[in-house]
A = this chain, B = another copy of it.
Amino acid sequence: MAVNFPAIDPAQLHPVAGVTLGWAEANIRKPNRKDVLVMSIEAGASVAGVFTSNRFCAAPVTICREHLALGKGVRALVVNTGNANAGTGEPGLLHARQTCAELARLAGVAPEQVLPFSTGVILEPLPVERLVAGLPAALANLGAAHWYEAAQAIMTTDTLPKAASRQIVIDGHAITLTGISKGAGMIKPNMATMLGFLAFDAAVAQPVLDTLVKEVADRSFNCITIDGDTSTNDSFILVATGKAGLAPIVSTDTPAYRALRDAVTEVAQTLAQLIVRDGEGATKFMTVRVEGGTSVSECRQIAYAIGHSPLVKTAFYASDPNLGRILAAIGYAGVTDLDVAKIDLYLDDVHVAKAGGRHPDYREEDGQRVMKQSEIAIRVVLGRGDAEATIWTCDLSHDYVSINADYRS
């Protein structure tokens, strides 16, 4: 049921020098599925991440932050699906540490050089024995060309693996960027997505990479919502292996930084949009653009009110141009001094509302025509400034309810 999800050719997911990937079927929650991923990173890479703003952050998120802060370099990521290791208290932290320690032992690195990630059901103990038992198999099949299988290994309610890759040239050096992501529900990232991992072979100094990961997250994973539920496990990680031979990027004020940032952003946006296209029960892909605001933050606030409204989302599911629901969402978004008499609303090229009321030329059949499409742009013009923001979201269907009423069964 994914919406215009592009076919992903495993052969087009270019290996990134310095990174290998291996998976295991560790029986974490269900048998016969890839549910453990190990990403091995050669020494010398820089790694940066952003994580969920949920106060109930998962144990692995806490450990990731701790290990990154130590600055000892990252040599491996380990991901399990089927269990979020969230809401698990002190035992959850011990399990995450134990996972790192065991992988470190097997891989010959330090435990602090391992970053753990989990995704799945919250509030259940992590079956750490099964996870640890799966690590040797994952290490045994490490390979540079395993990005597609890696994308499969991090899926939960996703119906399709999510990956993107591109190559650019900076200062005469070919740079390869490849990433994977997962997520289909509990999606309203606030710092990052459920899980996203993106590696490239440019060399980037740590402080610059720390900036880059935030800039990119704000333009990609922080611009999507499926159901407004910010997960406990959101993590987005950038790995810069430095194997391409390009001189290290040590400043954000360079053409090389900007070229890299644009390419990373493009791959990350693709990965983020793939999550929405595969949103639980999604049948429509909606771009919500709010323009003419006094700040990006108020534009985002309004865009998210629209993107979260169950009434807006069900109207899109039904292809019903019940567009007053969008005005209602704009009105309750919390921008308290909003002058609704200045607001215009467009659906693709159709001018629905002008100056806060129905446009005199608006005909319901024009709204209907756009609503029937699988890709729809909602554009709101606030008429009070120059700021703008765009988010991507999907509709709310019967299948969303079915999936989430049955998720654990």
Contacts and interface: CB of A to CB of B under 8 A. Distances in A.
B318 A353 contact: no
A327 B56 contact: yes
Interface in A356-390: 356-358
Given A123-B353, A341-B89, A407-B320, A55 B335 contact: yes
Interface in A241-277: none
A327 to B, nearest CB: 4
A164 B150 CA distance: 59
Interface in A189-243: 190, 227-232
A338 interface: yes
A166 to B, nearest CB: 32
Contacts of A357: 87-92
Interface stretch (A8-16, A70-78, A132-140, A307-315): A307-315
Contact of A408 (B185, B231, B320, B404): B320
A63 to B, nearest CB: 16
A263 to B, nearest CB: 31
B89 A55 contact: no
Contacts of A331: 54-57, 230, 232
Interface residues of A, number: 70
A106 interface: no
12 contacts: A55-B331, A87-B353, A89-B356, A188-B332, A190-B332, A227-B311, A228-B309, A229-B325, A229-B332, A232-B324, A318-B405, A398-B398
Given A54-B332, A317-B405, A400-B401, 17 more contacts: A53-B332, A86-B324, A87-B324, A87-B353, A88-B357, A91-B357, A122-B324, A123-B323, A123-B324, A123-B352, A186-B325, A230-B328, A232-B324, A315-B405, A320-B406, A397-B401, A398-B398
